[in-house]
Structure formats: C-alpha cells, structure tokens
Chain A
Amino acid sequence: MKTIVKHRLFWPVVALVALIAINTIARPQFILITVRNGELYGALIDILRNSAPLMLVALGMTIVIATRGIDLSVGAIMAVSGAVALTIIDASSEPGSLGTVLVALAVALLVALVLGVWNGFLVAVVGIQPIIATLVLMLAGRGVALLITEGFITTVNSGPYEFIATGYLIGLPFAFLISLAAIATIALVERRTALGVLTEAVGINPEASRLAGVRARGIVFSAYAVSGLLAGMAGIIYSSNIRAADANAAGLFIELYAILAVVLGGTSLMGGKFTIAGTVIGVLTIQTLEATILFLGVPSAQSPVFFALVVIIVVLVQSPRLHRWGRRAISTAGSRSRSDAGDRAGVAS
C-alpha cells in the first residue's frame, strides 16, 4: 500500500479519477460510451479527441523541461504551421484532393521543425536562457503567421484536411489516434533506449553530463526540434478542427496549459526526472476539468480562475515548506499520543 501511495503517479491519477467520479455522480451519462455506426461516442471520447493538440504540445514540453528548459513558442509554432498548411490548400486548384493535403502537411511540418531547430540553435549553441530564446519566437511567430495569412483568417473546405480532426478510424477519433501514436513513439524512444536517461542526466547537471561524455548539446538541440515538430502537428489538428487558420487565436495560452499539464503530471520544472505517463494524465486532467467547468455552466472565459486555483493547490502540495509543516504536525501528534499512552501507563501502575 505504501509503495502505491509513494509512486509519483499516485496523486495525478487520484486527481483524474476523482474528477471523473465527480462528473459521473453529477450526470451519469458522462461515463457512458455508445457505439454508433461502429464509431465510439460519449463525453469521455470527446475529451480524448479534444485533448489531441494539448497532448502533442505537452509531450514536447515534457522533453524540453526534462533538459531543464522551457518552450514558450509552441503556440506561435502552431499558428504558423496551421497558416502554412491552409494557405497551400487554399492556393491549390484542388483543395479536396489527398495529394494537395499531403503536400500541405509535409510543408507545414517541415516549417515547424525548422522553427524548433531555430529554438534549439539559440539554446544549445548560442547558450541563451531557454525562456528568453523561445520568447523571441513567441513574439515574432504570430507576426509570421499573420504575414502568411495576410492578416486574414484563411478558411478552406477540404475533406481530407477536415478528416484529421473530425474523422474516425477503427472506431476511434483520428486526432486521438495521432496523439496515441505520438505518445507511443516518444515513450518507446525515451524509455526503451538510453536517450531518456541521457536526457535526465543533461537536465540534472548539463556540465557534469558533458564531462561524462554525454553529448548534452545535441540532446538539448533535438529536444527543441521535437517540441517544434509536435507543436506543428498540434497546429494542423487545431486548424483542421476549426477549418480555418487564425494567426491570433491558434494555440493562444497553450504553452501555459502544456506547462501546467507537465507540472500536474509530477515532472519538476527544475529538469531531470520526467514522466511521459504523468504528462498524459496531466493533459487528460486539464481537459476533463475544462469539460467539468463548461458543464457547471461557467462561461469558458472565466475558467482560468479554476485553473489558477488548481495550479496554486498543486504547487502548494509540492512545496517543501508545506511538507515540513506536515511532518512536524504528524510528529507532534505522534509524540503527544505517545506521552498520553505513557501517562495512562503511569496511572495504571
């Protein structure tokens, strides 16, 4: 029992299960999953589908945070990749053809990868603090996206492109399958090879790991490249979902939610130890919380208040000072009961 409680995924899982339980008590159909024409429907399936962009971004953010970095530019990269993809489709004579869409996807992902590489270059090669290095792209990226869409919200009507966010495959939302594939790939690469351990080593002490022969620079570099690529995929799913490229609104605040998901999952922002499963749970918790808040009839604009309270509770629970207070409270309670027992023993004798 104690090992289960001590496991670092214990509290994140408890939070998620509690949230689902509260929702199910409030409205039993929440947990219901129905099958229509061989496709799964239900509130939980919606949560899985809607979580895809945040999941992709949060996975990249986990890797970056593991190297003791942070990537603020993911929202801007999302805006750029969506803008690139939709502009290509919009300009083509056959927006509905699969070939056009594939070309658009390839170019958009390539651009996102280049932006990620740019971040990696600034952090790993030039040696700028990650928060500042990615701030540059965060500021400039939306400007670039606005230039690509020429300041308009580009809308398209393309069947294959819409399929990415709203389509179904083997009974599951296609967007969820994309995020599942990303989770599996990253978990395999980071956990079944030595790369994960090396990433943690770099995050714990970049200088020491470099001296120990780890190619720290390359690992940091590729972390940002991966984060950029995943953000590009997220941007494509987002733009496919709303069928439009909105340079200002795409991925707004997503970097903050992604960081929140990583922290909720139990990965420390100080770098080093990271957990992919924790991030997945963190993303699902955020998405479920969002669904709950909407269900409560709170306007979605006001939901940040709830997220703020969640962040404050989570950071307080993690804070060392509170742990000290907790230990002191337990030990004083323990000694008091012991002295009580002693008194009673004295009376008895």
Chain B
Amino acid sequence: MTKSLELEPRRADARSRYATFMSRRASLMPTFAAVAILIVLLISAQARFPKFLSPGNLSALLLDNAYLVVLAVGLTFVILTGGIDLSVGSVMAFTGILGASLLAQGMPAGIVVPIMLVSGALIGLLIGVLVHYFDVQPFIASLAGLFLARGLAFVVSLSSIRVEDPAVLWLQRTRFQVAGWYITPTGIIALVAVAIAAYVLLWTRFGRTVYAIGGGEQSARLMGLNVARTKVMVYVISGVCGGLAGLLLTAYSGAGYPRNGIGTELDAIAAVVIGGTLLSGGTGYVLGSLIGVLVYGTIKKVISFMGAEQAWTQIIIGALLLLFIVVQRVIVTRSQRRR
C-alpha cells in the first residue's frame, strides 16, 4: 500500500515532465517520428534480408543519395523561411551537364567546379530577387528557375557527356575503408554540407533570421532583422547546393545528362517534409532532412532487394509524406489551441 503511494506521485511526475517536454519541444516530434520510422524500416528490412544491415550496404545508402542530401540541405533553408524551391532538380542537371561539357573541352576541374557552383548560385539569385524584390510567389519564381535551368541544360547538350577528368572521378572512386564500412569523398562532402548547414542554422545570426522569417516575416522585419538579404540568400544557398549536387551526381554517374533529376525536386521536398520541417516555415532541422533522405534511400533499397517494381517506391513515399503531413497538421492545431 505504502509502496504504491510512493510510486503514484513519481509516475505522475514523469508524465507531467513528459508533457512539459512535449509542449516545449513539439517541433521535434516529426523529426523523432522520422527517426523511429527509419529504425523500424532498417530492423524490418534486416529481419527479411539478413544481409541488409551489412556495413557495405549501409555505406552505400549514403553514397547513392549524396546528391539528394545536398539538395535537401539547400531546400531546408528555403522551406524554413516559408518559401519553396522547385528548381533544384533542374539546377542539378544544368550544372552537371555544364561541368561535364567544360571538362570535355579540356578545362581543368579547379576552374570547372567553381563555375558549376556559381552558375547554380546565379539561378538561385534570380529566384531570390524575383521573390523578394518583385513580390513573385516562390512557387512561380522557382518554376521559372526550373524551366530556365532545364532548358539551359539542353542548350549545353542534348545528349549525355562522359566525364574523364581524374579529379572528378576521384570523388567517387576513392574509398576510405574501416572494417567493411567505407566512405567516398562525395559522401564526405554531403555530410560536411549537413554539418555546415546545421551550424549556420543553429548558431549564427543568419540562421536565427531564417527561423524568424519563417515564424513571421513582418515581425522579423519589425525586429530589425535583415529580411531582404536573408530571403535572397536562402535561394542562393539552395542554388549553390544544386550546383554541388550536380557535381556529386556527375561524379557518381561518371557523366552529365540533361535529363537528370526530372522530379528530383519533389523527392527533395518529400525528404525535407518527412524529416520534420514544416512547409509553412519556421520549424525544422537540417539533420531531419538528412534522416528524411535516409528514409527515402532505405525504402528504395528495400524495394530493390524485394525485386518489386520501382512503382512502389513512389507510392510508399507518397503515403509516408501523407502520414507526416497529417502528423504535422495535428501538431500545428494542438499548438495553436494551446495558445
């Protein structure tokens, strides 16, 4: 009797602590859900295919999706401000084919890579200027960016161009191995991009401004934050990430191809949303986007292990996206009710 009396308040205490944590950290919930889904996916895949959790397979998971990680990182910045960037897949295709074409003409990689990043940045800059200075909706402005980049990719070349440059191929062929685990420079670049983005978003003035704009642009402006520069910058960052993803994909496939990445912007948006970033802006984590890409990559891998059609990947990604949107919807309505 006394024991249960002692236990009772403690349990209530734990519950209230949990409730406090939940109310303060509600924004973490979707990201936790993504981590949970990733773990469930990995465990059930291991149960079905005993070799699934092998170090080699898990290493490949990151490398196969390195370009998507970089795109999702850039997109996270844009979505956090409440915008959207539909151009990322096309920018990746454009910079990829541009790089491959310049390399084929004998230009050294040391010049080509900066050109790729800058051309991505320029398209991002165009979108950002349209969005901020001309009040164009992000959807339409980035749609123009999508068309522009896709068209330019075909202007550079109508067919694929092989890459022979040793420096670019080194990015993919080199493997740093530790006990079956391995990582290539492309994987390292993707992880470094995540790390830099996480640092910038959490610990710099710029990052806090990004969150503030997503929370409410008007209030951010009234607080004296530099809304104009930040809003343009997020699209430039997304463009640079598109350029970097172009480099990674070109190294990965050993060629530039103007049809690359049709629909990849949707995969990237799905990954960011699954990772717990609210599309209305203001809430989200770049690490969540990494998790989102890993969820996406795992599903793709499981389906290829099962020998099922690629069609199921799209359906499952769609269903997962729906699940997360409903979760987000519930969280948002709850937090609004609390206010």
Query: Which residues of A approach B to under 8 Å, CB–CB?
Result: 70, 122, 126-129, 131-133, 135-144, 146-147, 150-151, 247, 252, 256, 259-260, 263, 269, 299, 301-309, 311-312, 315-316, 319-322
Contact = CB atoms under 8 A, between A and B. Distances in A.
B143 A319 contact: no
A321 B135 contact: yes
A305 B151 contact: yes
Given A127-B329, A136-B321, A139-B266, A308 B147 contact: yes
Contacts of A259: 139-140, 143
B314 A139 contact: yes
A111 B325 CA distance: 24
A305 B144 contact: no
A311 B313 contact: no
B170 interface: no
A301 to B, nearest CB: 4
Interface of B: 84, 126, 130, 133-137, 139-141, 143-148, 150-152, 154-155, 158, 258, 262, 266, 269-270, 273, 279-280, 309-315, 317-319, 321-322, 325-326, 329
A142 B314 contact: yes
Contact of B315 (A144, A151, A304): A144
B284 to A, nearest CB: 14
Nearest to B258: A301
A305 B155 contact: yes
A305 B158 contact: no
Contacts of A319: 134-136
Given A269-B137, A301-B258, A316-B134, A311 B147 contact: yes
A48 B42 CA distance: 53
A165 B130 CA distance: 39
Given A144-B311, A146-B311, A151-B309, A306 B151 contact: yes
22 contacts: A126-B329, A128-B325, A128-B326, A131-B84, A132-B321, A133-B325, A135-B321, A142-B314, A143-B311, A144-B311, A147-B315, A259-B139, A302-B151, A302-B155, A304-B151, A304-B154, A308-B144, A308-B147, A308-B148, A312-B126, A315-B136, A321-B135
B311 A139 contact: no
A325 B34 CA distance: 48
B309 A147 contact: yes
Contacts of B130: 312, 315-316
Given A133-B325, A269-B139, A140 B319 contact: yes
B178 to A, nearest CB: 36
A145 to B, nearest CB: 8
Where chain A touches its partner, the secondary structure class is helix
- Best-surrounded residue of B139, B158, B322 (most CB of chain A within 10 A): B322
B134 A322 contact: yes
B317 A140 contact: yes
Contacts of B313: 143
B134 A308 contact: no
Contacts of A129: 279-280
Given A135-B321, A315-B140, A320 B135 contact: yes
A136 B146 CA distance: 20
Contacts of A128: 325-326, 329
A135 B136 CA distance: 21
- Best-surrounded residue of A306, A312, A320 (most CB of chain B within 10 A): A312
A122 B311 CA distance: 23
Contacts of B273: 132
A146 B310 contact: yes
B139 A307 contact: no
A136 B318 contact: yes
Given A136-B325, A143-B318, A316-B130, 9 more contacts: A136-B321, A139-B270, A139-B318, A143-B313, A263-B140, A301-B151, A301-B258, A304-B154, A315-B141
Contacts of B139: 70, 131, 259, 269
Contacts of A136: 318-319, 321-322, 325
The list of the 4 closest CB pairs from A to B, nearest first, reads A140-B318, A143-B314, A305-B151, A304-B151
A341 B91 CA distance: 54
B325 A308 contact: no
A326 B14 CA distance: 64
B154 A299 contact: yes
B135 A143 contact: no
A146 B150 CA distance: 25
A70 B137 CA distance: 13
A305 B148 contact: yes
Contacts of A127: 329
A110 B141 CA distance: 35
A132 to B, nearest CB: 5
Contact of B326 (A126, A263, A304, A306): A126
Contacts of A303: 151
Contacts of A138: 266
B141 to A, nearest CB: 7
A326 to B, nearest CB: 13
B135 A137 contact: no
